Amino acid sequence: MLERRNNPPPVPSNPTRQNGNNDNDLMTKLANLLALAATGGLLATTASAKDFPEGSPEFETDYKKATAASKGSGKPMLVVFSASWCPPCQANKKKVYPSDPVKAYHDKFVWVYLDTDKKENQNVASEFGVRGIPHIQFVGADGKAIDKAVGGTSPDRFAAKLKSVLEKAAPEKAGA
């Protein structure tokens, strides 16, 4: 019968000098892995707003710039809180925003796409009480919330929502 030992393997006196290397292999590999992961994550989140299908509205990814554009144009903002890992978000992105019923509204809003995984978007998400995604927040040119839509949707339902939001925003626009 084999005897079971619970003793860990011996640890070298200087783990960084294993195999005769003193270039801190383990730490170098770990640093490289972390750098690669960070770069990959950055590339994935940076590309998320730029990889919309043909026929999609033009999305701004900077909330402050979008707010200024909305104020300057008088158009309400349509702020999409989303993430690359969210299936309903990706379905909206691929099938709803570029759809024919929604295209009629592309020039009626300042379209904003904010990845909720990016730190710089978390305060805005918190400001609008985003608890789940996709969360589409409609904001007047004055910065006040008009309406919201949460969850996946169809092109026709989303187009109807856009029409409704424009009707709600019209009195504000007329008073401006």
Q: Could you tell me the residue range of the domain that residue 144 belongs to?
A: 59-175
Give the 3-state secondary structure of residue 148. strand
Domain count, the chain: 2
Judgement on whether residues 39 and 72 belong to the same structural domain of the protein: no
Instruction: Show which residues are catalytic.
Output: 86, 89
Per the CB < 8 A criterion, the answer to whether 116 and 49 are in contact is no
23-32 pLDDT, tens digit per residue, is 556 555 555 5
CA atoms of 37 and 32, how far apart (whole Å): 9
Cα dihedral 98/137/139/97 (nearest 10): 0
Instruction: Using the structure block, give the residue that is written with the tokens 């043909």.
Output: 54
* Residue 146 domain-assigned (yes or no): yes
pLDDT tens per residue across span 91-100: 999 999 999 9
> Which tokens belong to 64?
């402050």
Q: Judge if 32 and 112 occupy the same domain.
A: no
pTM: 0.70
Q: Quick one: 80 and 42 in the same domain?
A: no
Residue 8 lies in a domain: no
Shared domain for 146 and 168, answered yes or no, is yes
